[in-house]
Amino acid sequence: MQETIHASSTFAHMPKHVLRSEVEDLYARYVGCLNDERFEEWPDYFMNESVYKIISRDNHEAGYPLAAWLCEGRGYLEDRVEAIRKTMMYGPRYIHRSVSAVQIGAWTGGSLMVQASYLAIETLLDEPSRVFNCGRYLDELVEHEGRLLFQRKVCVFDSLIVPNSLVYPL
Amino acid sequence: MSTENDSMLKWPVQGSKRIPNWVYSNAEIYEREQQRIFQGDSWCYVGLEAEIPNNGDFKRTYIGERSVLVTRDADGGVNVVENKCSHRGTQLCQKHRGNVQTITCPYHQWTFSLSGDLVGVPFIRGVKKQGGMPSDFDPSSHNLRKLKVTVRHGVIFASFSDHVEPLEEYLGEAMLALFDRVFAERELVVLGYSRQQTPANWKAMFENIKDPYHASLLHVFLVSFGLYRLDNPTRLFSDKTGRHAAAVSWRGEQKRTQDNADIKALKEHLKLNGVTMLEPVREFEQYTLSMLTIWPNLIVQQQSNTLAMRQLIPKGPGAYELAWTFFGYKTDDEEMVKRRLRQANLMGPAGYVSVDDSEVLKFVADGTRQFPEAEGVLELGGAGWEQQEDHSVTESPIRAFYDYYRKVMEL
């Protein structure tokens, strides 16, 4: 695989603690964008040729390819946003996402492997907030034009039985 | 002299043109359903042979509220047994799938063969000539409850009844043909599972698949991207009892007409940005969409190239789980597998189409729960139902379902 790290790469050469604050800042902004429902900005966190998947831990660990969300490229992400805004029928809700335990791997072949824990709390109309979905992000970050973007983001969720519907991105 | 309760459980005089809301929430009705439907003379879907390919493989699932194990025994036979020890009722198996030589109870290690025979009882003869089972204890009288099993083209059904008719008769000619269309002479490959729990009565989900009326009105995605319209050529089948149904359709010419004006949400200019998501290939004869509802717990979905079994698992009158098994065929090439996985975006708990249904069914439950004495109106398309109809502006498959339901439930 062609190396994309070159002399002008900033992130690949940062000290660990600086890289960590950049990565955690990215996750904070990513989650903030979704929690604020600024969904139109969500595809901007990804490379154009990226993969975004939401898949159950059951399927993931058994090696089954079936994902609840399978997005292959920016176009798919935009379609999801358009469906959320224009075509899907669903009751109003808030989804509150919380990310923690960010584990930063090494730069390998131009990608930075990052794992994090996430928890999504759902609040429906007239109902108390409840745990909706939790799991791990298994992510691959790359540097592109001075920013860190997701080349691959896989949300592996423990919650085998989805409480009704998974409408918004995680 | 009838009590207030008694009058609650009388079906409206208009018959299946009305659905009394208590049918979605009444606890006594729910219990009666468990006994007469799920434990009655019916074939319940439990799995695919492709899920238990090797001897010793097992899968844990539900029929109604009862946990059962689907196993492949040492001789390669398929069995379905209750997941409950014959000793003290302990639930035996705590995993979804696996491979074992015997089924052993965690509590006292009573051991059963994969076909449910009791083959081991620790200390059966006592220890140091003290205790143990009485001499007349006969292990073969304490096997696991074994269900009647039938397998057709790799699809496994089970029944708590000993005298349910053979599956071919149970389905009837029309349903059998549509079923075989998907499964005959195919080796199935599981692509993965999806499970969701919806806070609505299980029958509402069944009705939803028997309701062609909503397809072009609720599912804006389908209409906007030209996948389905009310003027699509459609055909509806019911078997002779009314309990099973099929809705099939195929692509027609897409035109804006007077009829379309009724489809308020029509957004004609939506185009997919992720074009590879919907690149269907004509794979089956004639129909591009085929949805079967097989009484009492199965929906067989063929939507273009995305295939799934949807198993209905009631969880009390107010909730059901939909357990989806997505599958393909062994003969699929890499492109076809990709197609199936991409099109699966329309289905499941996050589906472009299926989210509409799970959400709306919750709204139905929220509305009807408050007014158990009120009635739903089912008059679209007339008063009765036919075994075949060539249009979709009708509620006849739902009337058919309730005609049969009322017979079984004595309502």
| Tens-place pLDDT, residues B299-332 | 999 999 999 999 999 999 999 999 999 999 999 9
Would you call B272 and A79 a contact, using CB atoms and an 8 Å cutoff?
yes
* 8 Å CB contact of A70 and B341: yes
Considering only A151-155, B69-73, B264-268, B385-389, which range has the smallest mean pLDDT?
B264-268
Which tens digits make up the pLDDT trace of A54-106? 999 999 999 999 999 999 999 999 999 999 999 999 999 999 999 999 999 98
Closest residue in chain B to residue A78, using alpha carbons only: B273
Q: Does B165 touch chain A (CB under 8 A)?
A: no
* Per-residue pLDDT at B255 exceeds 90: no
Locate the DSSP E strands across B73-205. 78-82, 97-99, 103-104, 111-112, 118-120, 148-152, 155-159, 188-198
Q: Which of B52, B221, B224, B346 to mutate to test the interface with A (most CBs of A within 10 A)?
A: B221
Other C-beta atoms closer than 10 Å to the C-beta of A99 total 15
Residue B216 has pLDDT above 60, yes or no: yes
pLDDT of residue B1: 40
Q: Which of B241, B291, B248 is nearest to B402 (CA)?
A: B241
Rounded distance between C-alpha atoms, residue B30 and residue B317, angstroms: 6
> pLDDT (tens digit, 9 = 90+) per residue, B229-253?
666 788 999 999 999 999 998 876 5
- pTM of this structure: 0.94
Contacts of B88 by beta carbon, 8 Å cutoff, 6+ apart: B107, B108
Mean pLDDT of chain B, nearest integer: 93
Q: For position B4, what pLDDT does the model report?
A: 44
Nearest to B321 among A86, A161, A166 (CB): A161
Which pair of tokens denotes residue A34?
Answer: 């979704």
Across B20-27, average pLDDT = 97
The gap from C-alpha B235 to its chain's centroid, in whole angstroms, comes to 21
DSSP bridge partners of B152: B155
Asked if A89 has any chain B CB less than 8 Å from its own CB, the reply is yes
Tokens of B51: 């899920």
> Are residues B359 and A91, on separate chains, in Cβ contact within 8 Å?
yes
Using an 8 Å CB-CB cutoff, list chain B residues near A56.
192-195
> What share of chain B in percent tops pLDDT 70?
93
State whether residue B301 sits within 8 Å of chain A by CB: no
Closest residue in B to A59 (Cα–Cα)? B192
Query: What ipTM was reported for this prediction?
Result: 0.94
Q: What are B121's two structure tokens?
A: 């009882």
CB-neighbour burial class of residue B232 (10 A; exposed 0-12, middle 13-18, buried 19+): buried
Q: Does A30 have pLDDT greater than 60?
A: yes
- pLDDT of residue B269 exceeding 80, the answer is no
Q: Say if the Cβ atoms of A86 and B224 lie within 8 Å.
A: yes
Q: Is A65 on the interface with B (CB under 8 A)?
A: yes
B275-287 pLDDT tens trace: 999 998 999 988 8
Q: Does B191 touch chain A (CB under 8 A)?
A: yes
Cβ separation of B360 and A89 shorter than 8 Å?
A: yes
Answer whether B8 touches A (CB < 8 Å).
no
Taking residues A109-137, report their average pLDDT: 97
Given a cut of 70, whether residue B262 has pLDDT beyond it is no
B360 touches chain A (CB under 8 A): yes
Average pLDDT in the B374-402 region?
93
The model's confidence at residue B392, banded by pLDDT at 50, 70 and 90, is confident
Does residue B194 carry a pLDDT above 70?
Answer: yes
CB-neighbour burial class of residue B238 (10 A; exposed 0-12, middle 13-18, buried 19+): buried
Q: Which of A79, A122, A132, A158 to mutate to test the interface with B (most CBs of B within 10 A)?
A: A79
* Main-chain dihedrals φ then ψ at residue B298, nearest 5 degrees: -130, 135
Is B229 within 8 Å of B49 (Cβ atoms)? no
Question: What was the pLDDT predicted at B250?
Answer: 84
Contact A64 B198 (CB under 8 A): no
Predicted local confidence at residue B225, as pLDDT: 77
